[in-house]
Amino acid sequence: MTYKVVGETSFIHLNKQLRPFLLANFIGIMDVKKIGLLFNVLVICLAHVCSHAQQTQDEQSELFEILITSGLRTQGLDKQPSSTTVQTQQDIQDAGADHFESLIYNTPNLSFAGESSRPRYFQLRGIGERTEYIGSPNASIGVIVDDIDFTGLGSIGGLLDAKQVEVLHGPQGTRYGVNALAGLINISTNDPTPEPEYHFESSAGDDGLFAFSAVANGALSRENNINYRIAASQHQQDGFRDNLFLGRDDTNGIDETYFRSKFQWLGNQGTSAKFTFLHADLDNGFDALSRDNSFQTLTNRPGEDDLQTDAAALKLQHSFNRFDLISNTAYADTDSDYLLDADLVFPGFYPFAPDFDVFINYQKNRKTYSQEFRLLSNPSSRLFRGRTDWVAGIYTFGLDEKSQSNNAFPIVTTSDYQTRSFSVFGQLDTRLTDSLILTTGLRSEYYQAKYRDSINLNFSPDDLFWSGQVALTYQLNDKNNFFTSASRGYKAAGFNTFANPNFPTDLREYDAEFLNSFEIGWRHQHPQLGLSSNVSMFYMQRKDMQLSQVIGLDDGSFIIYQDNLDRANSYGIEWDLRWQFHNNWNLDASLGLLQSEFVNYRFAENFLGEIDLSGRDLPHAPNYQYHLGLEYRNPNGFFARAEINGVDDLFISNTNNLKLDAYELVNARIGFEKDNWSVYLWGKNIFDKEYATRGYFLANDPTLSDPRLFLRFGDRRQIGITLRYDF
């Protein structure tokens, strides 16, 4: 494994040539061999489909309509006026995905920072957090699971009994306000049905893997139309690390338990109620870093990444004569414990400082609750001569978080953090012509935060935000839709809460961030050819962007804190394709191209001088990311799938010019499927590629004088077998 250092050290000015045209830039960053590989595969597939061009239409598989449920109104994917990536239940099962982590590579311009055992923070189009942060936990990308807000807790994203995963790219201010500056991840699971249904699945494999899940579904009372669905899962594995000091191979392990129950009542006259309860217990280790950037660690205090949550949601719907009413109520109580052995070694490793033992520990209890009332028009209440559908609603959200932190200094702080927000929102969908729809949405949100801690820091910012979207959708014919949109999002102001008294007072608070986004896209569906393609181009402007800075204090220590930068821009292309080019063959592909840049950004690092990052890419914003999957399913039961995922090199931070290498991962899966059972042999990272998902440039020795790059590697090759049984 190698890593790139731009310039002589990480703090030397990055010389970057400006590229005037988007196409020229993207061609320049793509590896010729990778382009050739993709081109050859597509040519082979095209030749194959041409050889079967005489097949009749009824021999072709028709595309099913994908419905997007995370918007203000449920609508088909082909009607979405923004870039949206969807993974269906069949996609999830065919990929063998048990956590959202496995689907990240399938989503254009979505990346993650390997800060924890599971991806907790995400970067979409180069925007998003990369680290655990104490203070005001304002996330850039929303995470919703079954109508419950888990924003900032992405590790909760298990795919037990998942029905669909939707990733909405760009600001979702009209729908979700302050929690969706850069986009939204929405995971929805299967609802109860009256038909008896039972599933069981179990897996075993390398790295001590053992996993199972079970689902039971049916009618609780047919007479009263009450149905239930219960699902549970357990996942354990060792974590691909050997702790030489402790003599253990499970200090980086995964131990996750999920339980979900749903009850649904379908009444008369368009009335329904659905109750969801979720319990998750993630007892994971985090011992992924070593001084020599290997898979062998020396920590005496292995890290932890624990999360336990109990959450519930109640959704009520009723159809009145002139509108529909939807009420969503949600509550979550979550405990998390994050521990990192920051020195990465055991006491006594340094003979001149035998008692040196530094760790970082954050313990939190977070309670969230939300209530939304939404009114949706029906055909009898459309506005403007029956051409305009409308949605109107109110939303309130509260968060209470109690924390205890030890941030590598001998001062332990406890804190209380609260946020309250109240929003009103509305959306109009106006059919200007039979083919042209104008969508206008607006949201106004009052946001208030309160913070106090054991070192007498107190903050109480409040603000009134507005966001919205204007979009046009044009249906050229039954196969082609075009859209263009302009949207605005925001992220609340925050504060830095370090216990160190030398931290400057004027840097304690930072301002809100705003994002303006512009998109144009084309969606093509051709059921006769089994083809679906979505492509969009975007341009985004960030104002007062929040980002990490480093400051050296008078006592010789350094602190990473949040501050505002005047401006940053990004633009790119997102494309995904599904193609059943033969009765038994399917091709799925995606491509994300991204160019991002800081505008007038000079970073003042006070012991190695100033560096100018103007025009440089944002951190964790790879210039390209691609996915290519090929799948074969025969009526006799044989199944095979192979996929390759690629990610360009990327900068690890906005405080240095260090980079992680580009990499490609290959996964494969073969199996046999019958009416009620199936068995699969699978491999992840089958060529055992060594790749890094996170990098830190820091000095963690007793003298704080030996800064070096520490890498967090992704998982090694894993081979396993999965058995699924339905009855």
**pLDDT tens digits, one per residue of 529-573:** 899 999 999 999 999 999 888 777 776 667 778 889 889 999 999
**pLDDT tens digits, one per residue of 317-334:** 999 999 999 999 999 999
Structure token digits, residue 672 = 């046999």
Q: What is the pLDDT of residue 581?
A: 92
Q: Would the pLDDT of 447 be above 60?
A: yes
Domain that holds residue 39: 4-726
Cβ proximity of 349 and 355 under 8 Å: no
Q: Would the pLDDT of 32 be above 90?
A: no
Q: What is the pLDDT of residue 133?
A: 65
Please name which of 154, 157, 156 lies closest in space to residue 139, comparing C-alpha atoms: 154
Cβ partners under 8 Å of residue 364, min gap 6: 334, 335, 336, 337, 401, 402, 403, 404
**pLDDT tens digits, one per residue of 691-719:** 999 998 888 889 888 888 999 999 999 99
> How many other CB atoms are found less than 10 A from the CB of residue 102?
17
Top pLDDT among 64 and 227 is at 227
Please name which of 514, 644, 678, 620 lies closest in space to residue 33, comparing C-alpha atoms: 644
Mean pLDDT along residues 425-440: 96
Q: What share of the chain is helix, strand, coil (3-state, %, to 5)?
A: 10, 55, 35
What pairs with residue 124 in β-bridges? Answer: 110, 127
Q: Would the pLDDT of 606 be above 70?
A: no
User: How many residues in total does the chain contain?
Assistant: 727
- The three-state secondary structure class of 381 is helix
Gap between the Cα atoms of 431 and 434, Å rounded? 7
Q: Would the pLDDT of 52 be above 60?
A: no
> Helices H, strands E: what count in the chain?
4, 43
Highest mean pLDDT range out of 37-51, 443-457, 491-505? 443-457
Q: What is the pLDDT of residue 20?
A: 33
Structure token digits, residue 278 = 């979720």
**pLDDT tens digits, one per residue of 370-429:** 999 999 999 999 999 999 999 999 999 999 999 988 765 556 689 999 999 999 999 999
Top pLDDT among 193 and 528 is at 193
Please name which of 406, 405, 700, 710 lies closest in space to residue 558, comparing C-alpha atoms: 700
382 CB burial (10 A radius; 0-12, 13-18, 19+): middle
Gap between the Cα atoms of 578 and 91, Å rounded? 11
b/e sequence 258-287, b meaning 16+ C-beta within 10 Å: bbbbbbbbbeeeeeebbbbebebbbbbbbb
User: Using H for helix, E for strand and C for coil, what is the string for 383-409?
Assistant: ECCCCEEEEEEEEEEEEEEEEEEEECC
Number of folded domains that form the chain: 1
Q: Would the pLDDT of 15 be above 60?
A: no
Q: Would the pLDDT of 526 be above 80?
A: yes
Gap between the Cα atoms of 100 and 721, Å rounded? 20
Mean pLDDT along residues 212-234: 97
Mean pLDDT along residues 167-183: 92
Please name which of 616, 471, 540 lies closest in space to residue 125, comparing C-alpha atoms: 540
**pLDDT tens digits, one per residue of 462-472:** 999 999 999 99
Gap between the Cα atoms of 506 and 92, Å rounded? 48
Q: Would the pLDDT of 55 be above 80?
A: no
Structure token digits, residue 21 = 């045209």
DSSP 127: B
Q: What is the pLDDT of residue 499?
A: 73
Which amino acid, 278? Answer: L
DSSP-derived secondary structure for 562-622: EEEEEEEEEEEEEEEEEEEEETTEEEEEEEEEEEEEEES-EEEETTTEEEE-BTPPPTT--
Q: What is the pLDDT of residue 557?
A: 67
Q: What is the pLDDT of residue 561?
A: 84
**pLDDT tens digits, one per residue of 19-29:** 333 333 433 43
Q: Would the pLDDT of 142 be above 50?
A: yes
674 CB burial (10 A radius; 0-12, 13-18, 19+): exposed
Q: Determine which of 46-50, 71-75, 297-301 has the lowest per-residue pLDDT on average.
A: 46-50
Gap between the Cα atoms of 625 and 29, Å rounded? 11
Gap between the Cα atoms of 403 and 452, Å rounded? 11
Cβ proximity of 285 and 339 under 8 Å: no
Q: How far is CA 456 from the centre of its chain?
A: 35
Gap between the Cα atoms of 181 and 487, Å rounded? 10
State the CATH number of the domain containing residue 29: 2.40.170.20
Q: How far is CA 446 from the centre of its chain?
A: 26
Instruction: Determine what percent of the chain is predicted with pLDDT higher than 70.
Output: 89
Q: What is the pLDDT of residue 487?
A: 96
Cβ proximity of 722 and 680 under 8 Å: yes
Cβ proximity of 289 and 301 under 8 Å: no
Q: Would the pLDDT of 12 be above 70?
A: no
Supply the mean pLDDT for the chain: 88
401 CB burial (10 A radius; 0-12, 13-18, 19+): buried
Query: Containing H/E element for 297?
Result: strand 296-297
CA geometry: angle 689, 691, 692, nearest 5 deg: 165
Cβ proximity of 146 and 278 under 8 Å: yes
Mean pLDDT along residues 509-530: 94
Mean pLDDT along residues 658-677: 96
CA distances from 333 to 146, 214, 284 (A): 15, 25, 19
Sole residue written with tokens 């400057």: 504
Gap between the Cα atoms of 533 and 536, Å rounded? 10
> How many other CB atoms are found less than 10 A from the CB of residue 383?
12
Sole residue written with tokens 């990192």: 340
**pLDDT tens digits, one per residue of 107-141:** 999 999 888 899 988 999 999 988 876 667 788 99
Cβ proximity of 250 and 237 under 8 Å: no
Q: What is the pLDDT of residue 409?
A: 54
CA geometry: angle 183, 185, 189, nearest 5 deg: 155
Q: Terminus-to-terminus CA distance in the chain, angstroms?
A: 47
Q: Would the pLDDT of 1 be above 50?
A: no
Sole residue written with tokens 């109620």: 273
Gap between the Cα atoms of 225 and 591, Å rounded? 45
Identify the band that residue 4 occupies on the pLDDT scale cut at 50, 70 and 90: very low
User: Using H for helix, E for strand and C for coil, what is the string for 160-217?
Assistant: CCEEEEEEEECCCHHHHHHHCCCEEEEEEECCCCCCCEEEEEEEEECCCEEEEEEEEE
Mean pLDDT along residues 473-482: 94
Which amino acid, 324? Answer: D
CA distances from 543 to 401, 416, 565 (A): 28, 29, 8
